[in-house]
């Protein structure tokens, strides 16, 4: 989810199923696989093969707006993050992940999927996003995994270091880092873009990943992964997203640069480049009403994508099976020519 201002507090939650299994003397990996397989019953009534064109609502979408940073739970239609559809199979058994912007959007979808694949997950968010963040933590707990909510302002270097320290303490280590949080505010003209707004976008989208990765790196062992969320804006920028688009191009490049730098250490670095995805970014200042109403209509599938449709990409990039994949950016843009 978008990042920008406040500061807050949260609860540390531990999945009861994981604790019970540990008490029974089950090994961590077996514990994680068992917990992933015992996640809440999910909807399996849909046909095995579904038409992607009609799977989710198509535009025109209802005009709507929320104060920044917005809540997914108040969107109409509400986004799908895989809450009732994602089924895990233990692919991330015993892993420990930190996800920024984990309350909604792709961060939320990744958090739910990671937990159902057997990982313990720490998420970062802002105070006004508490309702969404609480839901995510509940889903992590229901999967039998440890959920560590860590609120704070990513524009603050000291907090970014604290964030990593709290994740390490709450999870007992770290081997998956997803730098997903982003600030997106549309502005029709560079003449109207203030230095304060430009700085907030740069601090959130570029400085924060730099600070967080730098703080986490000494604790990442061979086999660890770093995943950045870039965007179609990296190579096909919209005229009203001048500052945001720059940061996404920079994200794509830091992924490729770090992959080369960290490859000899056995740490993989990849990126995910979403196209038009239905998240609170769009309804809290990230798009004009006209663009929001027709969001995703120009894609081959003719609709906005849903966060749930990217969850499996984050899982694949984090999983050990993708051990030869580094320095790559995986797109999901509904046919808009992603990498």
Full residue range of the structural domain in which residue 208 is found = 16-20+55-332
Taking 70 as the pLDDT cut, the residues of the chain under it are 1-47, 337-339
Res 32: pLDDT: 42
Res 29: pLDDT: 44
| CATH at 83 | 3.40.50.720
- Domain contains 144: yes
- Domain contains 259: yes
Report d(CA 332, CA 116) in Å as an integer.
22
Looking at the structure of the chain, the number of domains it has is 1
HSE on the CB side for 45, CA within 13 Å? 3
Res 336: pLDDT: 82
61 carries an active-site annotation: no
- Domain contains 44: no
Structure tokens at 73: 């739970």
Structure tokens at 150: 């860590």
> DSSP readout, 200-266?
HHHIIIIIHHHHHHHHHGGGPPTT-EEEEE--GGGTS--TT-HHHHHHHHHHHHHHHHHHHHHGGGT
- Domain contains 2: no
Report d(CA 283, CA 288) in Å as an integer.
9
Res 91: pLDDT: 98
- Domain contains 48: no
Res 48: pLDDT: 75
Instruction: Extract long-range pairs of 71-76: CB within 8 Å, 24+ residues apart.
Output: 71/104, 71/128, 71/129, 71/131, 71/132, 71/280, 72/1, 72/103, 72/104, 72/105, 72/108, 72/132, 72/279, 72/280, 73/131, 73/132, 73/135, 75/278, 75/280, 75/283
Residues facing 305 on adjacent strands: 277
- Domain contains 192: yes
- Judge whether 31 and 20 are in contact, CB under 8 Å: no
Res 338: pLDDT: 67
- Domain contains 337: no
Active-site hit among 56, 125, 244, 330: 244
Structure tokens at 201: 């976008």
pTM of the model: 0.86
- Domain contains 39: no
């Amino acid at each position: 989810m978008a990042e920008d201002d406040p500061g807050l507090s949260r609860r540390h939650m531990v999945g009861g199923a994981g604790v019970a299994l540990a008490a029974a003397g089950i090994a961590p990996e077996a514990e994680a696989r068992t917990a992933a397989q015992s996640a809440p019953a999910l909807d399996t009534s849909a046909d095995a093969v579904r038409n992607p064109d009609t799977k989710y609502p198509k535009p025109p979408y209802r005009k709507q707006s929320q104060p920044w940073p917005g809540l997914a739970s108040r969107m109409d239609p509400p986004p799908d993050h895989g809450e009732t559809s994602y089924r895990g199979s233990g692919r991330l058994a015993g892993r420990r992940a930190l996800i920024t912007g984990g309350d909604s959007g792709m961060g939320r979808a990744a958090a739910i999927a990671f937990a159902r694949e057997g990982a313990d997950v720490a998420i970062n968010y802002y105070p006004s996003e508490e309702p969404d963040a609480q839901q995510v933590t509940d889903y992590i707990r229901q999967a039998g995994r440890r959920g560590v909510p860590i609120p704070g302002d990513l524009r603050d270097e000291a907090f970014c270091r604290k964030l990593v320290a709290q994740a390490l303490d709450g999870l007992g280590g770290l081997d998956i880092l997803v730098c997903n949080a982003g600030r997106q505010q549309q502005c029709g003209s560079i003449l109207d873009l203030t230095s304060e707004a430009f700085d907030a976008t740069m601090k959130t989208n570029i400085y924060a990943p730099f600070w967080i990765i730098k703080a986490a790196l000494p604790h990442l062992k061979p086999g660890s992964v770093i995943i950045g969320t870039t965007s179609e804006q990296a190579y096909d920028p919209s005229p009203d997203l001048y500052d945001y688009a720059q940061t996404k191009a920079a994200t794509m490049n830091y992924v490729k640069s770090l992959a080369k730098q960290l490859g000899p250490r056995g740490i993989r670095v990849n990126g995910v480049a979403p196209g038009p995805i239905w998240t609170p970014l769009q309804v809290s200042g990230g798009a004009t009403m006209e663009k929001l109403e027709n969001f995703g209509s120009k894609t081959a599938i003719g609709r906005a994508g849903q966060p749930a449709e990217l969850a499996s990409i984050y899982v694949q990039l984090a999983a050990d099976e993708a051990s030869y994949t580094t320095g790559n950016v995986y797109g999901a843009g509904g046919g808009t020519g992603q990498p």
